[in-house]
A and B are shown apart, each in its own frame.
Chain A
Amino acid sequence: MEKTWNNKAWFMVLPVLVLVAFSAVIPLMTVVNYSVQDTFGNNEFFWAGTDWFMDVLESDRFWDALTRNLIFSAIILAIEIPLGIVIALNMPKKGIGVPICLVLMALPLLIPWNVVGTIWQVFGRVDIGLLGRTLAALGINYNYVQNPIDAWVTLIVMDVWHWTSLVVLLCYAGLVSIPDAYYQAAKIDGASRWSVFRYIQLPKMKRVLLIAFLLRFMDSFMIYTEPFVVTGGGPGNSTTFLSIDLVKMAIGQFDLGPAAALSIIYFLIILLLSWIFYTVMTTSDAQG
């Protein structure tokens, strides 16, 4: 659509600007402020330069948490995106099944995150949980409280349970927007199921898939509440992701300087990775 040049449009954007500035810019400035200063209490601050940043970047704690976060996001994306596509392709297209599927699938998305954690914490418990009891009955030694691998599996299954529906809903929306004429044309040409997917459905889903990928990446990279409730970052530090580490540092130990420096590094990593994914995926779109 042709847009007219009109600087008065700023007035329409102003409320958003003021509101977001209040909830984003001011807090962010506080963080920046803390990240370059040190204090001995009494609200007396002095300049610390980039010391905190060096501290964070040189600590194993940061790199370990970052690695765990990256592995977690990678596994989540590798499972949820293909699974979401497969489920969306097999959803009913019309009839009573559509609203039933949509409502039931959207259900996990609207459960508060700590309740999601509670649900899985209970579900996986060996003494009172259905999953834990079933696995124990099958002779599988499963205990997410003590075994790091079990803890990871639990968190991944939980996240798949929690968020695959978002991918499904997005893909489904992309699929229903394809006009019937496309399928009829494909049928006349004798196209196989695979080529229908490859040349009609996948291109049409590209935009929603980009959104799904970015949202899932950002949210899995920021994950806090669910693992905090289920494992509390343990056993040991095996499920301590960046957010958990950060909150521990800022509110638990009140190490404002390092916590602020970590905050900024964390935010920059998310921005950078999101920007890279976005650029790579949109340029490949333009070529294809």
Chain B
Amino acid sequence: MMTNKQPLTQRLSWLVPTIYIVFLLLPIYWLVNMSFKETSEILSTFSLWPQNPTLRNYTVIFTDPSWYSGYINSITYVVLNTLISVTVALPAAYAFSRYRFLGDKHLFFWLLTNRMAPPAVFALPFFQLYSAFGLIDTHIAVAIAHCLFNVPLAVWILEGFMSGVPKEIDETAYIDGYSFPRFFVKIFVPLIASGIGVAAFFCFMFSWVELLIARTLTTTDAKPIAATMTRTVSASGLDWGVLAAAGVLTIIPGALVIYFVRNYIAKGFALGRV
């Protein structure tokens, strides 16, 4: 009798994640469904799948530079930001995980407070600051601005991973005659490779999804795709089909990134601190 009870609840346990995933996918499915319909069909008929599937909406996006340049802009500043964040965070995380120094705890806490700063607070001063440096509407401006929340996060995650590496490894390398930079690049970085992957994943994610700051700092040349969407919608009188197609296309880079890091996500969460 006792053995009978346990398997029943366990056999049904797959239902919970399944229902949850269906709930997650329904709205996304609806968007995909709409992206293959003509706007007139969206407005006139209600169907669970496209009656006359069309690629028109995607053609519009891939042939109009004002649309597809948005993707290039977004990806450019997101990649730039990820590179900058991880590069500067690596030595800092090493310092926090290995050494005690004057004001280290305060500095660490101060860094984390930046993760708590509402982007809305920074929108206006950012605009003025980057105008003063003539950086408005450049990719680097958005990349640096996003460092506000990504660098603290990267330091936090990497510090967690680095603390998991025994200090004896550092000492052995020094005894073997490694200089610090060589040790760091040749031995230490490969040891925390999965940590770097996780940190990069989170930097990519938070930079990719952020819109308020990215939109404030750009006008045309570096405008992110997400902002292009809001503008075009208001201008063209709601072309729902193109809007849906653009939305679907913004989901794809994220989905690709998740697919590549899928085996590290759970591990990274557990070892690191996010």
Contacts and interface: CB of A to CB of B under 8 A. Distances in A.
Interface string A1-44: 11111111110110111011011101110110000000000000
B171 to A, nearest CB: 11
Residue from A30, A31, A129 having most chain B Cβ neighbours under 10 A = A30
A220 to B, nearest CB: 11
B56 to A, nearest CB: 17
Contact of A122 (B25, B31, B48, B269): B31
A5 B100 contact: yes
A173 interface: yes
A27 B208 contact: no
Interface stretch (B59-67, B142-150, B188-196): B142-150
B16 A87 contact: yes
Interface size class of A (residues with CB under 8 A): 35 or more
A215 B273 CA distance: 12
Contacts of B116: 218, 267, 270-271, 274
B111 A107 contact: no
Interface stretch (A51-59, A70-78, A91-99, A279-287): A91-99
A211 B271 CA distance: 13
A174 interface: yes
B187 interface: no
A110 B121 contact: no
B159 to A, nearest CB: 11
A128 B20 contact: no
Contacts of A236: none
B113 A105 contact: no
A107 B152 CA distance: 24
Q: Is the interface of B mostly helix, strand, loop or mixed?
A: helix
B72 interface: no
A222 B119 contact: yes
Contacts of B212: 224-225, 247
B24 interface: yes
B258 A103 contact: yes
A224 B126 CA distance: 17
B55 interface: no
6 closest residue pairs by CB, A with B: A110-B254, A173-B269, A27-B125, A90-B16, A9-B99, A12-B95
Interface of A: 1-10, 12-13, 15-17, 19-20, 22-24, 26-28, 30-31, 86-87, 89-92, 97-99, 101-115, 118-120, 122-123, 127-131, 133, 161, 164-165, 168-170, 172-174, 176-177, 193, 208, 211, 215, 218, 221-222, 224-225, 229, 242-244, 246-247, 250-251, 256, 259, 263, 266-267, 270-271, 274
15 contacts: A9-B98, A16-B155, A27-B122, A104-B21, A107-B24, A113-B209, A115-B229, A118-B243, A128-B34, A169-B265, A176-B267, A211-B274, A256-B124, A263-B120, A263-B121
